Structure 1
């Protein structure tokens, strides 16, 4: 039988590759050291890396990183705490801080579910960061060449959205300028895209924003949510106000617009479930009720499905409608969540909502900064003891990874 070649590492216990014996100076057998390190949380391993280069090499081994992730599968989040604008914190669901990332200019996290994160301000400043390495890419503020001469294009308010293109292994940032020009009763936004390459590619230092076709109707940039490779938007509040003033352009208030990030093209208009909501809930079928209802609704990514979140504050009830069929506009009310009655009624809507692997649903309310978890198995909700939150994002990466994408 032929002996293994020099590039084939000798198997360790349970067929695993042994770590180099020299890396622990002979203190422990490699397999035992492997097991001891696997038990440590990522927070402790990151500290070891900071003080010793050999530990950094050992804990960065792809085999070790994979097995550690399998053992430590508890969800992690990125948080902007209200009492600390100068940092972004990686936290677990108990509120324990795992890692701290500098955020000197007080950028606020976008609601994402990725292994990278995006933080921005309304004054056109945006950063994409890798929590594992703390690498940050500051995106240029200059507009795309086609928009260079457009009035107010570099003034507030500016909105951003970050998505990952699976097939290409790259990330794209969508920028939306909401300082627009009104021609009669028509509203106009500017849209641009910036690409950050994945691990297989590179990103030119001269990369710039690319102008993309604006939507002809009333898109609300601040409502953007990315689900997979698609960005979804509600109808703009300006159109809502116009409708309330008696001007009706024939666009239903529960229209949802969508942009395909991979193709960088607008898709067809999606009809929301407002008609179904009025049929199943106690509302009077008047325009004012429609408008009030739509203001209580936010969009969310529920583990890869577009969700419409309807929170009725005085009843402490939250209904979650999931999109089942885009082409036919079919929505299904999957969950009715009863928030604890002690919850204050000052909230109008949800700021961030996500589903964990075990089916529990995490809910962030923006005004109070509180976090709740709903468990559909027991039909109960409970508040998470955590510092007040300004923004929350779900982190799907691995803090031990040394390279998620090219952030140069």
Structure 2
């Protein structure tokens, strides 16, 4: 019996492997290295595997939520809902919110039918919102120094969790130090959690070491969430660049380093986080020149905590008119914002762009999330029966 397998059969077998195993099998033999080592093949295989996950999730994530903020209409945000399968317009929900900032509220998380909204620019207002019922719950806010918020679902205790970090006086009573003739309040950074079914107050976390921070506002794809873990990007000092993970069940922080700058690119390049095949994915946005446009590198972290497991899936070579990545769709296509503030869908394999029809009347803030409608009350924590 011959041990030879035709190349098309080998490709069929390899394409059914999870990404982590696929990359490991490059060391089996030279012929497999040749097949798997082709950049287009590796990229397409990893994305195709993510399609299987997205297709299974599509039954649950029936809608795609597109958030638009109109600066000309104070305290008003509009969420358009599209069919996840076809991207056809389904409905639109304008929501009058107690917004203090003219920039509107950022969606920091979408989980099991609820959204967590955060007013970053006006300092600390956090809401949990159910668009299906228009119910809005304002969480207690006694501080204007909140800088990080994340939202997830604790599958062990069957409840929603909000985590925030903020600055508090180092001592009570507060202590001031003099810096160049100016009195400065000495502050510490703390992490707190709010569980929707466990009470109506924030509880301080006991953290081993420093509380991780977040660079920049909680919007524009700086956050990702998957399987009860929130992720964000942080930079401390000159070279300490990491991804932070917060497990909402265990209430612990973990970090993982990014690839070396010589491979990843300059620290000044913008990083955008998303989730691909239930793994953390990162899009590195580089400005080439005014005429050449932007360049996009898409990376995936196959094993959290292992720096060497970062893998670059593909590079989008300076496609003109594309400004910002907003997340992946089910076919490996990438939602992006163009130079006009409009939502488009980019296919990295055919290098084609098509418009996604939503109301583009507002260009201040554009976010895209998968969303599952649920008709239930937020009060009492909105207990989910799985």
Which TM-score tier does this pair reach, normalised by the shorter chain? 0.5 to 0.7
CA displacement at 1:323 relative to structure 2: 0.6
TM-score if structure 1 supplies the norm length?
A: 0.60
Aligned partners of 1:324 and 1:331 also within 8 Å: yes
Shift of 1:125: 0.8
Structure 2 residue aligned with 1:390, among 342, 365, 385?
365
State the distance in 1 between where 2:203 and 2:168 align: 18
Distance 2:267 2:348 in 1: 30
SS at match of 1:140: coil
1:259 and 2:246 are equivalent in the alignment: yes
Q: 1:224: how far off?
A: 4.5
TM-superposition CA deviations, 1:346-395 (whole Å, max 9, x none):
x6xx4x63222333222347x96442322245332344454125142414
Q: 2:114 aligns with which of 113, 116, 133?
A: 116
Q: Is contact 2:106-2:118 (8 Å) kept?
A: yes
Q: Distance in 2 between matches of 1:224 and 1:360?
A: 19
Structure-to-structure mapping, 1:7-406, within 5 angstroms: 75-83=63-71, 84=73, 85-92=75-82, 93=87, 97-105=91-99, 107-114=104-111, 115-122=113-120, 123-142=123-142, 154-178=143-167, 188-197=188-197, 204=199, 207-214=200-207, 215-216=209-210, 219-220=213-214, 222=216, 223-236=222-235, 239-240=236-237, 243=238, 252-267=239-254, 269-275=255-261, 277-278=263-264, 290-293=266-269, 296-302=270-276, 304-314=278-288, 315-329=293-307, 330-338=309-317, 340-343=319-322, 350=324, 353-364=326-337, 369-386=341-358, 387=360, 388-398=363-373, 401-402=375-376, 406=380
- Find the residue that maps to 2:321 and give its secondary structure: coil
Q: Contact 1:307 / 1:321 at 8 angstroms: preserved in 2?
A: yes
C-alpha distance 187-308 of structure 1, shift in aligned 2 (>3 A)? farther
Q: Kindly tell me the number of residue pairs found equivalent between the two proteins.
A: 287
- Secondary structure of 1:77 counterpart: strand
Deviation at 1:212, TM superposition (A): 1.1
Contact 1:132–1:398 (CA<8 Å) still a contact in 2? Answer: yes
**1:218 Cα shift?**
5.7
Cα 1:291–1:180 change in 2 (3 A) is farther
CA distance in 2, matches of 1:277, 1:89: 38
**CA 1:375–1:136 in structure 2 vs 1: closer, same or farther (change >3 Å)?**
same
Contact in 1 for aligned 2:117/2:128 (Cα 8 Å)? yes
* CA RMSD between the two structures: 3.5
User: How far 1:79 moved relative to its partner?
Assistant: 0.8
- Retained in 2: the 8 A contact 1:110–1:393? no
- Give the conservation status (yes or no) of the 8 Å contact 1:273–1:331: yes
Gaps of 5+ in 1: 1-68, 143-153, 198-202, 244-251, 284-289
Per-residue deviation at 1:272? 0.8
Distance 1:353 1:405, change over 3 A: farther
User: For 2:267, what is the secondary structure of its paired residue?
Assistant: helix
For residues 281-312 of structure 1, the C-alpha deviation after alignment (integer angstroms, 9 at most, x for no partner) is xx6xxxxxx4324xx22322335221111011
What SS is found at the alignment partner of 1:298? strand
Question: How far is the alpha carbon of 1:255 from its aligned partner?
Answer: 2.3
**Which region of structure 1 is more displaced relative to structure 2, 93-102 or 325-334?**
93-102
CA drift of 1:404 comes to 7.6
Bigger Cα Rg: 1
